[in-house]
Amino acid sequence: MKVLVVDDEPDVRALVATALELAASDVVIAEAGDGEEALRKMREAPPDIVILDLALPSRDGFSVLEELRRESSLPVIVLTARGMEHDKVRGLELGADDYMTKPFSPRELVARIQTVLRRTTAPAGRPGVIERGGLRIDLAARRVFHKNVEVRLTPTEFNLLFELASRAGEAVSHELLLERVWGPEYRNEGHYLKVYIGRLRDKLETEPASPRLIETVRGIGYRFAFTKD
């Protein structure tokens, strides 16, 4: 496992590296102290996961994450002192797979890294294609086509879409989606689901503000609708 730790504080980078090295014998740690160095290292030798601070010199972590998401679906955990709700939502909207605040528990960080890697690794044994209206989901290739145009999804977005589309027509609860896509420890993290539903709608709906494909079922969750659009 190769992990890129992006933080301008050497002590934080060292703490993360030590926690990972104690938890796994096969871990390789790369470090970056600013956003430009981080992007360069991601492009030259893509890691398995990125641990990204927001308060970086020259350019903040939000802009690094935004640029990374234009090029890659690499798993990213934001690790930052910025704990305000709007910061967390913005990080998730830009494509972070998880968000932790400082001070942090090294053990919890390791557990979250393992969880993110599990859910962003393509699962085996899912042959076949799901077709609903103008949407085609190739399960084996983990590719999505909307009206014959490929839509690039992150692994978490794909997993969420699969859970909805495989239950098309059903009202799927918030709790079930959070447990199936993120894990049982995320059952109360409703903002994760809300943000990622918004990301899917932006990519798949003709009018995201008036969704016809992924419907909200008030008080319950979401429903993937049968549509001919």
Same domain for 10 and 45, yes or no, is yes
Same domain for 110 and 150, yes or no, is no
pTM of the predicted structure, to 2 decimals: 0.84
Amino acid in the structure at residue 4: L
CATH number at residue 171: 1.10.10.10
In tens, the pLDDT along 128-162 reads 888 877 889 898 888 999 888 999 998 899 999 99
Same domain for 76 and 97, yes or no, is yes
Number of domains in the chain: 2
Q: Is residue 111 domain-resident? A: yes
Amino acid in the structure at residue 158: F
Same domain for 13 and 116, yes or no, is yes
Q: Is residue 229 domain-resident? A: no
Q: Is residue 185 domain-resident? A: yes
207, 219 contact by CB (below 8 A): no
Same domain for 176 and 204, yes or no, is yes
Range 81-101 average pLDDT:
93
Q: Is residue 106 domain-resident? A: yes
Asked if pLDDT for residue 226 goes beyond 80, the answer is: no
The distance of Cα 7 from the centroid of its chain, to the nearest Å, equals 20
The boundaries of the domain holding residue 208 are 129-224
In tens, the pLDDT along 12-50 reads 999 999 999 998 878 999 999 999 999 999 999 999 999
Interior CA angle at 175 toward 170 and 181, to 5°?
A: 85
Point out the domain boundary residue: 103, 120, 137.
Answer: 120
User: How far, in Å, CA of 125 to CA of 40, rounded?
Assistant: 35
Alpha carbons within 13 angstroms on the beta-carbon side of residue 53 total 25
